[in-house]
Amino acid sequence: GQNIDQPTEMTATEGAIVQINCTYQTSGFNGLFWYQQHAGEAPTFLSYNVLDGLEEKGRFSSFLSRSKGYSYLLLKELQMKDSASYLCAVLDSNYQLIWGAGTKLIIKP
């Protein structure tokens, strides 16, 4: 079956750095997405990786290793507004999105 694993919850301190991991086992691979979702709101797109390596976008970076079935989202200079759930999703060989359950990130002052 298809599976995406991410930690359920993480806690970090304002101003620090946090890395949220995502491992996947899917039938084929056509890219990996990270979305941010604040409580009770809609997910918003953060990043897309299809090739191995690091994609940097401001305070957020996303890394992919296709051979290891692994990705991480790196958040730097954490702000209180970064408290949210972070969803990892993989586009499989049928171009269907398979979603992880999300990682709830709690930022403490």
Partner 1 sequence: DGGITQSPKYLFRKEGQNVTLSCEQNLNHDAMYWYRQDPGQGLRLIYYSQIVNDFQKGDIAEGYSVSREKKESFPLTVTSAQKNPTAFYLCASSIPGTETGELFFGEGSRLTVL
Rule CB under 8 A: which residues touch partner 1?
4, 8, 31, 33, 35, 40-45, 48, 50, 87, 89, 91, 95-102
41 vs 52, beta carbon nearer partner 1: 41
Q: How many CA atoms lie within 13 A of 88 on its CB side?
A: 28
Distance of closest approach, residue 20 Cβ to partner 1, in angstroms: 15
Residue with Cβ nearer partner 1 (91 or 105): 91
Q: Enumerate helices (H) and strands (E) in the chain, giving the number of each.
A: 0, 11
CB of 75: closest distance to partner 1 in angstroms? 20
Query: What is the b/e burial string over 46-65, where b = at least 16 CB atoms within 10 angstroms of the residue's CB?
Result: bbebeeeeeeeeeebbbbbe
Nearer to partner 1, 35 or 78 (CB): 35
